Structures are given as C-alpha cells and as structure tokens.
Amino acid sequence: MANRATYGRPIGRDAELGLLASAVSGAADGALRAVAVRGDPGMGKTRLLAELADLARARGFAVHHGQATEFERDVPFGVYIAAFEPQPGDPSRDAQGALTELLLDATGPSEARRAGLDRYRLFQRARRLIEDQGAAGPVAIVLDDLHWADRSSVELTEYLLRRPPRAPLLLATAYRAAQVPAGIARALAQLGDATAHISLAPLGEADVAALLPEADRGRRRLLYRTTHGNPLYLQVLADAGVETLTALAEAGDTATGAPERALLEVLSTELTALTPDVRQVACAAAVAGEPISLDLVASITELPEAALDHAVDHLVGVGMVVEADASLRFRHPLVRAAAYWMAGAAWRSRAHDRAAEHLRTNGGPLQLLAHHTARSARHGDVQAVRTLEAAAAAALDAAPSTAVRLLRTAIRLLPDEADLASWRIQLQWALGRALGVTGDLAGSRQILQEVIRAPGPLRIAAVSFSSMIYRLLGDFDEAKALLTTELTRPYARDRSTSLARLGLAAVELMGREPGKARLAAADAIRSLRDADDEALEAAARTIQALAALRDGHVAQSLSETGRAAWLTDAMTDDVLAPHLELIAPLAWVELHLRRYDDASRHLRRGLDIAYRAGRSHSVPYLLIVLSALNERQGRLSEAVTAAEEAREASRLIHSRETLAMSSILLLRPLLWRDGPRAALEHAERISGTLPRSGWWSGLARLDLALVHAEAGRPDRALAALTGEDPADELTGTYCLALRAVTTAAAGARSEADSLAENAVLLATRSGLPHQLGFAHRARAKVLMLSGRPKEAVVHAARGADHFAAAGAPVEEGLARQLAAELHAALGSVVTVRNEIGRAKSLYAAAGAAWLSAALARDERRLAAQAPRGRRRPAGPLSALTTRERQIADLAVGGLTNQQIAERLYLSPKTVEAHLSRTFAKLGVQSRVTLTQHLAADAQSRDGRAAAGPDAGSM
C-alpha cells in the first residue's frame, strides 16, 4: 500500500543503537553488561531488542530471546522457558534444553524431580548452567515485556543481576515506563556503568518522514499529530482514513496521542475484516499463547488441518502473525490483545477448556494446564480443584506467587459441601504457607487464623508456621503473643503443647535475656519427659545449650550440646527435615565451643536437607552460621560468599530479620580482607536495617564498634557500644573488652584499665579460648596505650596462644602483630621478626589482604627503627623457602597436614612434600625435633639480639 511504513534499520534510534553496540562489545570482551530499555507501549522496545539480538549473534553470542505475555502471567518462569526453548539446528540447543528442563522440573508434577529445587537452589543451578554455557562463548539473555512477567521470572532476573554468572554475559530487559519492576530497577542501578539505560522517546517529525516516505506532507503531519511519533501507532494507522485519524487526534491526549483503547479498536476492525475461519484461528492463537502451538490451536478450533494451515498462512501474509526464531508469534502484544478480547467471554472460556483437555490428554506441562483450567473451570468442578492444587503444590517452593493465585482459585471453585470442609482447611493451610513464603504476612495471618480456629492436626502446624514467619520478619512480640495464647487453650497437654513451648523458647532465645530462654527450654524438656520424641527433645536441648552459653554457663552448655548433637545425628533426614531450625543454633554453639568439625558437618547436612526438602526458611539461618564459622577459621572469602548467599536467600523469602543478620556478618570478613573503608561503606549501607532481636542487635553493635575501632574512630566505636548493656555474658565480655580499648584510645586510661581487667576476669570464668584471646589482646592494647609495654607483651602473647587454641588464625595474627609492636619497643629484634613472620603466614592463609598490606607497612616501619650492625651468618632456617617456612610454622603450631592443606588451599600431598623437603634441609626426622629446632633457633637469635646492635638486624 502507498502509505505503508518502511522497515529495516530502526528510524530515529541511532544513539540507542550505539549504546547497544557498546554493550555487546563489552560483553564480548568478557565483562558483564546489562541493558534496560523502557518506554510506553508501541515505542519500539521489542524492535530494539531484536536489533540487539542480531548484533549479539553477529558477534558469536549464544542468544536466548524470550518475551513475557499479558495472558500467561500466572505461568512460572514463562519468559525464561520461552527464551531457552531449544531451537532446531542451534549449536547451544543442549544448554537451552538443560535450563528449560530445570525450570519445568522445578514446578512440575514429579516430587522426585522437584527435590532440592527451592527458589534459591534453583536460581543457583540456573546461574551455573549459564556459566557452563558461557565457558564456550559469550551469552546474551534478552527478556522483553518484563512488566508482564510472572513474579518468579522477575526474581530470577534480579538474582542474575545481583549475582551475575562468572561468564561473558549480556542481560537485556525491556518494560513499560509506567510498570518498572522495582527489584530489577534496583539491581540494575547497583551495576552502575555496566548498565546501559535506554528510555525511548517518540519519533520526531523528520523521523516520521523517513518512516513514511511515500505519504504526502499533509498526511504525515496528521499522522504525527494523531500518534505523537509512536512508531507502532504510525505503522497501524498508516492506511487509516483522514476522518479516522482526525477523530483519533481529537480523542487523544495532547502529550501521547491516540489512546491505546482506540488502537485496539482499529486492530479489531482489521480482525473483523478477516474471513470467519481466519478470525477464529486468530482468536484461538490468542487463547493458546505464544509461541503459537498449531496443535493447541487445532484442538481449540477443531478445524481441518488444511483449513488451519490456510488461516495461519493468511495471518502471516497480512502481518498479524510473524515468524521469529523458528516459531510463530503475533506482530505485537496489542495485536494479540485485540484478538483475545474480540472473542466473546463464553467462547474464550470454552476455548480455554478445550486447551486444558488437550494438555491433560497429551501430558502437557502442569503449569500450562493449570493456567487454562483456572480460566475455564466453574464452581463445583472437583477435577479442576485437584489440578490447581497439584500445580500449586508443585510451584510452592520455586514459584510461590503462582501457588497463591492457583490456591485462591481452587478455594473459590471448591463446592460448599460439609464433607469437603477438611479439604477446604487443607487448601487454606497451603495458601497461608504460600502467602507467608511470598512475604504477604497480613494475608498469611488472615488465612492461617481460619486454620487455627478449626480443630485438627493442621492447627498447631499453622501456629508453628505463623510463629516462624513472625521471627523471620523480626516481629518477636507478635510471635510470643501467638504462642502464649496457644498455651492457654483448654486442650489436653500433648505434642502440640510441647511444640508451642518449644516455639516460645525459640522466641525467647532471640531476646536480650537468655535466662528466659533457659526457663522456657526447661519447660519444653519437662513436657517431653514421657513423650519419646527425639526430634523435639533435640530442638529443646539445642535452645537450652545456646541459652546457657549466652548466660555464661559453659559446663551446662557443653552437656546439652553433646546430648542435642547425639539426638540429631541419630535422626534420619526425613525425621529431621520438619525440625531443621535446630541445626543453625546447634552449629552456633559448636562454633563457640570449638567443635568446628561437628558444626561444619551439621551445617552441610542441614543445607543438603533444606535444599532437597524445600525448607527455604531454614536456609538463611544455616548460611549465617556457615559464614561465622568460615570467618572464625580464617576462610574470609568463603565467609563473605556465605553471608552474601544468606542475604540472597533472605530476600527471596522476604525475611527482614535474617537479611539484617547476614548483613552484619559481612562486616568482619570485609574488614580483615578489604579494610576499614570497605567495612565502613557496608556499615553505612545497612545502618537503617539492623536486626530487631535483642540478642542480634547486641551482636550488631559489637561488630559495628569493632569496625569503627579498627578504622581509628574510638568515639564512633564508643557510641555504637553505648546503650543497654547486653544481658548475656558471652556478648557482654566482648563488648567490655572492646569498650576498654576504645576508652583507652579516647584518653581515659584508668577507666580503660579497669574495664580490661574485668573483661579478662569474665573470660577466665568462661574458659572459652576465643573469648580469652579477645580479652587478653584488649588488655595488651590498653597497657600499650598506657606506656607499659613489658606488661602488655605478656597479654599479647597469651592472646595469641588463646586464639591459636581457638583455631582463629586471623585474630591470632592480630595478636602476634601487636606482640611484634611491643617487642620492637623492648628492643627484641629477632622476636619481632618471628612474630611478624607468623602473622604474615596466618594472614596469607586466611586471604586477609588488607591485614597483609598493613603488616607489610608495619614491617618496613619497624625495620627502619631497628638498630643495624654487622650480619651474622645465616642459620639453617634461611635455606627454607617462604612456603616451607609457612608450613613449618603451622605444623609446629599443632595443625595436621589436612588442616594445613585446608588453610593454605593446597592438597595434603603438597603439604607432605613441603614438610619432607623441610625435614631434609634441617636434618630432622619428626615434628617433635622440628619444633625443638625452631625453638632453639629462635632462642639463639634472641640471645644475639640481646647482646647488642651487631647481633643482627631486621
């Protein structure tokens, strides 16, 4: 036709195409690049993403291009399944199929195939699959119309942006300007310059002339006035009459042109002009969804194959349907919308019903079957309720928002019959759980209240789940009120009572006063005396162990921990899974009691069960303790990774409290690895989201104070420590020691001395090595600031020894670095060198880059201050390489070959080889003689240093 728009390179988008080319180049070079295209309907978002896909293919990218659809917003991961649908002849077909299969399994009917695919685990596996594909070449993921995407697709996109695959990746998104997915917008903003932000503006009049070169000037001006430069509107209205254009121009908004509903009317007119069969096929295709399945369209229309093929070919010929990536799609979502809505409501319902029957008969995807069932079933359709219930159960862990919609529909469809009352309660319980998982606490509470009011086994389950949700959100008073009310109910004292007492003890454990948790746990243990319920007893004794530890009763904590661990280890995974919350506090106690192997074993088992059983609410707690364990044992990068993973898992379940807890745990490893600036920046970012529990708010203040103290801000550190003193002795001792150091740094030396002495007394009473190390190091720093180096060096040495006994290499290194400073002040040059050498080895093994750099500066400073004289002949230790000396020091410190290998990231055989060469160089035969040899060498050097300046120099 004369006025039809021309196609090819997008008109008026040169700047945008330049940004796309730059993003493709950056990703091709191995960097992460993101593209965010936003604009009003019809502005050309889809067209621009198609250009991006072509650019990426030309550069050798594996391109995965998917488009969310308006009418399938309840199908989980729909846009990703569309993007990764295997294409015939595509070299990345296997990788595409792997991710599509993963996403379908995660919400499919097979429990065995869903096992271990809760949202967080699913996202991790999807990320790894993309990394695997990226190892062969750059990958482009292009996601269009995300404003229509299901929530699970949006969450997966957020995850990939926040924790991008380690691969050359281009991730492009497009969405309407007025419907920006908030989480995706935040994640894109955090990427900074790695994101190309493109906001599509209307075309100018010159662009309209280029787009419609055969139209006369007057018509182009009328079209521009009608459409205000909207490219899609220009294309659709290019052949409209003058009267139609004038009417639309008068009806349209002065800023945006013709309204969308008017455009739909124009499109509907085009559809009306089609023959009945072609129009029916268009409507059936709109119901079937995209990409268009000819088999599904055939089942809806019941047309002969030849008639169906003719109709589809005609739709392609007139441009309503297009071929894209070996599939058929509507030219634009508005075309599909026009076809969908022009069909009558009754016809659409029957069409969805025929589609559902086709999928049911042919074993189609469960979630797609549920989608068509939900749009066609009527009240009282029991088969439909069963289908929706099964689909909701399949989607609960990986796509809970989809489960919510399906369950609401199932409850609405269920017949109002007395004998189905228990089924209704079961559906309400499932809906309450799904709402809780999505973070809709108000909705979850409202539904679960109905379950709680009904008699039966689900009532106490609803109480326990509600309590857990409250704790995850930091609403501890609400959790306590709920459980206290449950304990006043006039029911027989049975397992439900013990569960409620146990829940109350768990709530009290998070409070400031551990004594209350001890009493509540003791009540729970008494209520279980004749119950023979090992799972509940293990949970109760775990709470008792942690409360006793916090309260300073270490002997009782040891006893209860041993019993709880024995009970836990005796349970099968199936028995343990419903009580998985006990693992994190058990491992926390084991961490502080220096039972690291037990803690690690329990955490690994807990995470394995959580992922397999879909216990997503337990995952953040387990990762939080894993982060703390890694930090304590000097695996700083692993500590950061675990804390970041805990943050991601917390975001997915919308847990404010565990998000705040895991954010706090990032402070120490960031401090030791990246330095005070990085830790302070993180502290600033999380300042408004600290934990709400009494216990963890105290831990937060402690770690924030530590960061400020190490950054040389004693006033800020003291301010962080100011407030209500921790009621538990464990945290209180650390706070007291840190307050002593910051008080001394602020100039109040006498007060600081008293605080430090009290900290040592409290730590001595507990007998916990790490606490003793912290207190003695603090005492040493206070004495050093008071100008008493001889006394200080004794406490520094004791601190180092206690930290070594606690298996805390980073803090042992800090104590040895402090000891080196003090020995330098006392003139013991060789001891300075030895302490610095050991600290250097400890920092290097832990990956404490900032501490290593700071130590190197101290080493140069102390070397410049040391007296110089003639050098003595080098001792036999000089023959050792740096790595051999590092391993020798660790071996003398009591570490096994396996422990040395884990600390230095070596294999045990490599450690054994280094030790063998060390033995040969020094002429020793065992670790005992190696220890004696190193000790004798140190004494010799100390003697030479004491003899005068010519005894050696640094």
- pLDDT by residue (tens digit) across 689-704? 889 999 999 999 999 9
3-state secondary structure of 143: strand
> What separation, in Å, do the N-terminal and C-terminal C-alpha atoms of the chain show?
90
- Look at residue 946 and tell me whether its pLDDT is greater than 60: no
- pLDDT by residue (tens digit) across 187-206? 888 888 999 999 998 888 88
pLDDT above 90 coverage of the chain, percent? 45
Buried residues in 751-768 as b, exposed as e (16+ CB within 10 A)? ebbebbebbbebbeebeb
Q: Which of the listed ranges 238-247, 318-327, 627-636 does the model predict with the highest average pLDDT?
A: 627-636
- Look at residue 432 and tell me whether its pLDDT is greater than 50: yes
Predicted confidence at residue 4, as pLDDT, reads 38
Mean pLDDT value of segment 197-224? 85
Residue 597: phi, psi to the nearest 5?
-65, -40
Any long-range contacts for 466-470 (C-beta under 8 Å, 24+ apart)? 466/432, 466/436, 467/503, 467/506, 467/507, 468/581, 468/617, 469/436, 469/441, 469/444, 470/441
- Look at residue 324 and tell me whether its pLDDT is greater than 80: no
The answer to whether 157 and 146 have CB atoms below 8 angstroms apart is yes
Predicted confidence at residue 623, as pLDDT, reads 96
- pLDDT by residue (tens digit) across 741-750? 999 988 888 8
Residue 400: pLDDT band by 50, 70, 90 thresholds? confident
Predicted confidence at residue 944, as pLDDT, reads 47
Mean pLDDT value of segment 552-560? 95
User: For the chain, what is the mean pLDDT?
Assistant: 85
- Look at residue 500 and tell me whether its pLDDT is greater than 90: no
Predicted confidence at residue 783, as pLDDT, reads 93
CATH homologous superfamily for the domain 14-201: P-loop containing nucleotide triphosphate hydrolases (3.40.50.300)
Residue 953: pLDDT band by 50, 70, 90 thresholds? very low
The candidate with the shortest Cα–Cα distance to 735, out of 713, 710, 711, 704, is 704
Kindly report whether the global pTM for this prediction surpasses the value 0.75: no
CA distance 639 to 794: 31
Q: Which residues contact 436 (CB under 8 A, 6 or more apart)?
A: 444, 448, 465, 466, 469
Mean pLDDT value of segment 461-475? 85
Predicted confidence at residue 5, as pLDDT, reads 41
pLDDT above 70 coverage of the chain, percent? 90
Q: Which residues contact 90 (CB under 8 A, 6 or more apart)?
A: 96
Better-scored residue on pLDDT, 415 or 257? 415
Q: How many CA atoms lie within 13 A of 112 on its CB side?
A: 0
Better-scored residue on pLDDT, 82 or 56? 56
**What's the gap between Cα 409 and its chain centre?**
30
- pLDDT by residue (tens digit) across 65-122? 999 988 888 888 989 988 888 766 666 667 677 888 888 877 777 665 555 566 777 8
CA distance 195 to 669: 28
DSSP secondary structure letter of residue 872: P
Buried residues in 774-789 as b, exposed as e (16+ CB within 10 A)? bbbbbbbbbbbbbeeb
Token pair listed for 560: 């209860």
- pLDDT by residue (tens digit) across 840-860? 999 999 999 999 999 988 888
In this structure, are strands 169-176 and 33-39 parallel, antiparallel, or unpaired? parallel
Better-scored residue on pLDDT, 194 or 725? 194
Better-scored residue on pLDDT, 539 or 949? 539
Mean pLDDT value of segment 491-504? 76
- pLDDT by residue (tens digit) across 133-173? 888 899 999 999 999 998 889 989 998 998 899 899 999 99
In this structure, are strands 33-39 and 139-144 parallel, antiparallel, or unpaired? unpaired
Nearest-5° angle of CA 164, CA 165, CA 166? 115
- Look at residue 907 and tell me whether its pLDDT is greater than 80: no
- Look at residue 241 and tell me whether its pLDDT is greater than 70: yes
Cα–Cα distances in angstroms (integers) from residue 141 to residues 52, 84, 438, in the given order: 10, 9, 26
Residue 412: pLDDT band by 50, 70, 90 thresholds? very high
Burial of 498 (0-12, 13-18, 19+ CB in 10 A): buried
Token pair listed for 52: 């991006």
Cα–Cα distances in angstroms (integers) from residue 4 to residues 187, 240, 259, 542, 871, in the given order: 40, 10, 21, 75, 92
The candidate with the shortest Cα–Cα distance to 742, out of 780, 712, 765, 770, is 712
Mean pLDDT value of segment 626-645? 95
Q: Which of the listed ranges 247-251, 564-568, 829-833 does the model predict with the highest average pLDDT?
A: 564-568
Residue 906: pLDDT band by 50, 70, 90 thresholds? low
Q: Domain map of the chain by residue range? A: 14-201, 204-255
- Look at residue 244 and tell me whether its pLDDT is greater than 80: no
Better-scored residue on pLDDT, 59 or 105? 59
Residue 573: pLDDT band by 50, 70, 90 thresholds? confident
Cβ atoms within 10 Å, residue 249: 18
Predicted confidence at residue 629, as pLDDT, reads 97
**What's the gap between Cα 865 and its chain centre?**
49
Predicted confidence at residue 310, as pLDDT, reads 94
Residue 301: pLDDT band by 50, 70, 90 thresholds? very high
Mean pLDDT value of segment 323-345? 83
- pLDDT by residue (tens digit) across 342-380? 888 899 999 999 999 999 999 998 999 999 999 999 999
One-letter identity of residue 367: Q
Predicted confidence at residue 220, as pLDDT, reads 81
Looking up tokens 């565990």 gives: 658
- Look at residue 15 and tell me whether its pLDDT is greater than 70: yes
- Look at residue 252 and tell me whether its pLDDT is greater than 60: no
Mean pLDDT value of segment 870-879? 56
Mean pLDDT value of segment 452-473? 83
Mean pLDDT value of segment 230-251? 75
Predicted confidence at residue 945, as pLDDT, reads 43
- Look at residue 923 and tell me whether its pLDDT is greater than 80: no
Predicted confidence at residue 375, as pLDDT, reads 92
- Look at residue 935 and tell me whether its pLDDT is greater than 80: no
Predicted confidence at residue 867, as pLDDT, reads 58
DSSP secondary structure letter of residue 324: E
DSSP codes joined into one string, 424-481: HHHHHHHHHHHHHHHT-HHHHHHHHHHHHHS-STHHHHHHHHHHHHHHHTT-HHHHHH
